[in-house]
Structure 1
């Protein structure tokens, strides 16, 4: 197969949602339909027999939540699907933001009982920043949920995107009968089953056909006919261009835990979802069909296998063909790197790959050369845009609890920060180290991983800090004046960039007024 054919058969997408909407379950069922796994393992907190295929960190198994992005590749109907399951928990939002830079489209999972939740809105904002195409899966129809029309109105209003239902539920909860696919013109009958793949399809070319009454009863059949008529009047036909531009979201209904409605979603997805798209560098747009390889690191994971102290950089292939063992230019360090070990993923199961194509995610074993945001190329130098660090919201000082393990603590902190788990700030004055996170749960994860992966114990002492602001100034004299005046409050991030640690909103405002020549930045990308 040539480059164009390889690109045409690839789809790379992320699954996003508020915690507990059923995202990891849907991920698993997509893998089940794709034949990538044979049995489903539901994630049950503290009562786990089998863990979800995409949750592999020890703390994820204990808590029953996803805290790191998992990457999985599988084949379905001769299409190579690269699926990225993201953390739903808001404390790990930054990992999700970074992951969304590596996908071409997303599937958003919404709980039919709770509707659109806070984290869903935040994730949608990130999708909108890059006009990422969104497909919506309204989940948990086997429960008593909200009216489908009400849910669609809420999606349009809160997420600021138009919708187009592609299937429609026949009742909900205890009386749930199935869904009618307006995309495939057939009826899918519901049988509660967590293990079997549901394929009980009745083909209905005409919704007025009496077969419908026989299958679901006259009352529900008439209700469905009315609903479908209203849907076709209220929601215009799907225009593919509008979906690809992120203006309209196709909507599917189902129950992931019962494997229901998942195949219809997957079939439509491979039909309409975008093939790998171009990516902007600081110089120009790089398109996938270019002959020369290029890619960027969007995630780093240390100790994926606790028995071996390995560190894997996740690279999205953007153009050309990646070949194992071939030297590639590392733009930031301006040197050539060779990767004899390259892997493809099925959660924590890895297999060696000799080549990869645009849209694929490759894991490269790394000894510390690569950082999040790094660019690898075969040809020209250039750096891909769009992976910022955000100013954290919570700050705690790291206190070493075992002086004999100082080296292990420093190495562990450095590696975890390079993964993007949190941000580390080292004060210029003294040797105080402060960890900044988006949410409280990250401190627990860091503590747990430092102890179990590096043998280092520490405690976190809360600090009264409002914001960590990166700063810059065009006038060296004024920059020195500011640094001399505020030396007690100046730190450096893991990349050595200068950061001002502001204690309160009012104080930050006063400092900004007093030093107008200094520019303060709330993301590290400036």
Structure 2
């Protein structure tokens, strides 16, 4: 593939709630751009982007999948992301490296909970977006209601650049408000032929009013457009597009398209929107990085002539070898090149480079700034690591990794399975940062921890299919946290002879509880002002973080604590790194025992959709589960109930909900916060 100019690259992701149609839209994009010659359907298990057996069987996307295609001389690097909350890390790492996004919203359900979650993830990384209101052919489709839902729930200014023509079964096409044309899609060739006609008289008035709103939005970003608008001058699409693009790239507005991907209507104009409104790598501010040892932040411009800087945002195991996905921010990367991992400070080699087409590879010789590629040969690189030129080591900002909240005990079925299980679990851990494995200190069981029951179900299914390992799975458990009720200060001295050498270290720690959701914060005399050598400072911080992660009496990790290193006496030639580590770890553990430890349980945010006649029963269920109702809303003939419920109460809830609503109810949930656990949970954890 010929490398296009940077201005002709679009790195985009498709994001939304589960079942809004992301993969179907992706499939149409690949078909209409000529990347594939047969459209596969999700419900048939034949979609190109859903290549894992687990995805094909369940009809859902589990892993973010990359592909490349070309539209209007632009290369589009496309990532289709999952919509299920259990696989939110796939969205997180995609948003970290993408330049733009397409948010898919169902014309029937409107903005759903996971759409809000992925929208917030995109907000965190300042990713410009356009929206596509899908399923306009479905019963109950309401374009105006969806626009209102997007504005109210996503807190964004929408600019509809299309209007639907017809609705539900009568949906036949769209009105292009920029070009002022009626756009129809041929059913004879699956929408490949696009016909543009004058707007019919019955839609002229509505289209003129809607276009006026588009011009008003464009005038906010272009003074000349504003002047002509005030003077009543007709403004062409060619003048409106750059102004709207400016507003989109700055995340000030969100252009909205509509259609029905399953019925092959509306996808080509959406592709035009990707080219017209979403940014190239040159349109965004430079990313920032620091030297590996700390120091001043430096800007990294998107320049192929600069030293290499790239972020590893995904790592996969393929046939026993690592495949590392990179977003290249600066410089060039060639096959066989030696590179430096600025995060782990080791040299790596990029054996071969590929452009990915789902799970198929297209080998290339070189990749440049702005590109997204996969690399083989990197043995030590993990998700979030920075790859750079050995002569210019840098570290980019990593990823925000959500904390897993559900655990199960796992046991190998046979002796051969038992031998191979640890290696397979290690591989799955470096593939997925939200998947954790540890051994229960009391029972000796191997505990798998993930984002939810489906996440862990997929993991165990992969153990069987990909690694041939049979396992027995215990019932799901809630992964709680531990924190302190009161502040405590403790001085700890460690002095012990190990292998004939005195290991000595001393620390004075002050530990204070923080408000919920603050995490772990370590402060103190670290950095250039500290008397400790840099390697001992690193050892001290690592030891404290390890102590927080290993937990206290319950074995649950600590949360919401500020650990202040008040003093670290240093005696040259006497204070040792091992002594510092031991003093910090033991000092933290003993201080925590004195701080009145308490257990925190995870609380989930629920959105329940139920027929209005059964809403009373559902509200009763929530109360029985120690839940708190946050809001009620009406959508069509259904009621939407927002609530917060402890996770321990939610196992098996789908069966209860279906029974209460005669099969008409559904729900989604995601982690919201930790709160002090109930007496029953505290008793089960051994901390009353």
Q: Structure 1-normalised TM-score?
A: 0.83
Cα 1:448–1:336 shift into 2, 3 Å: same
Q: Return the index of the structure with the highest Cα Rg.
A: 2
Kept in 1: contact 2:309–2:394 (CA 8 A): no
Cα 1:485–1:222 shift into 2, 3 Å: closer
Provide the secondary structure at the position in 1 that maps to 2:118: helix
Kept in 2: contact 1:447–1:459 (CA 8 A): no
- Match in the other structure for 2:258: 253
1:229 aligned to which of 209, 213, 216: 209
Distance, in Å, in 2 between the alignment partners of 1:374 and 1:231 is 46
- Match in the other structure for 1:459: 472
Distance, in Å, in 2 between the alignment partners of 1:86 and 1:133 is 16
Kept in 2: contact 1:106–1:132 (CA 8 A): yes
Deviates more, 1:340-349 or 1:428-437: 428-437
- Match in the other structure for 1:263: 268
1:114 aligned to which of 85, 109, 114: 109
Provide the secondary structure at the position in 2 that maps to 1:141: coil
Where do 1:182-261 residues align within 5 Å?
182-192=177-187, 195-202=190-197, 204=198, 212-213=199-200, 221-223=201-203, 225-230=205-210, 232-233=212-213, 236-238=216-218, 239=243, 240-261=245-266
- Match in the other structure for 1:93: 88
Distance, in Å, in 1 between the alignment partners of 2:254 and 2:161 is 10
Deviates more, 1:151-160 or 1:360-369: 360-369
Cα 1:463–1:190 shift into 2, 3 Å: same
For residues 46-66 of structure 1, the C-alpha deviation after alignment (integer angstroms, 9 at most, x for no partner) is x54xx1111111111111111
- Match in the other structure for 1:207: none
Cα 1:170–1:25 shift into 2, 3 Å: same
Distance, in Å, in 1 between the alignment partners of 2:316 and 2:358 is 12
Kept in 1: contact 2:161–2:257 (CA 8 A): yes
Deviates more, 1:356-365 or 1:244-253: 356-365
Kept in 2: contact 1:343–1:362 (CA 8 A): yes
- Match in the other structure for 1:443: 456
Cα 1:509–1:170 shift into 2, 3 Å: closer
For residues 337-395 of structure 1, the C-alpha deviation after alignment (integer angstroms, 9 at most, x for no partner) is 22222211111111111111223221112464110011111142221113122111212
* Structure 1 gaps, min length 5: 205-211, 214-220, 493-497, 512-526
1:292 aligned to which of 307, 311, 317: 307
Question: How far did 1:509 drift?
Answer: 7.3
Distance, in Å, in 2 between the alignment partners of 1:87 and 1:194 is 29
Where do 1:455-494 residues align within 5 Å?
455-461=468-474, 462-467=476-481, 471=520, 473=522, 486=552, 489=555
Question: How far did 1:309 drift?
Answer: 2.6
Q: Structure 2-normalised TM-score?
A: 0.65
Kept in 1: contact 2:185–2:264 (CA 8 A): no
Whose strand fraction is larger, Structure 1's or Structure 2's?
Answer: 2
Matched, 1:180 2:163: no
Cα 1:30–1:236 shift into 2, 3 Å: same
Q: Which has the higher contact order (CA 8 A, sep 6+)?
A: 1
- Match in the other structure for 2:29: 30
Distance, in Å, in 2 between the alignment partners of 1:284 and 1:335 is 21
Matched, 1:333 2:379: no
Where do 1:44-59 residues align within 5 Å?
44=43, 47-48=44-45, 51-59=46-54
Distance, in Å, in 2 between the alignment partners of 1:172 and 1:452 is 44
- Match in the other structure for 1:279: 287
* Structure 2 gaps, min length 5: 219-242, 291-296, 484-518, 525-539, 559-584, 603-673, 678-688
Question: How far did 1:187 drift?
Answer: 1.2
Question: How far did 1:89 drift?
Answer: 1.6
Kept in 2: contact 1:428–1:487 (CA 8 A): no
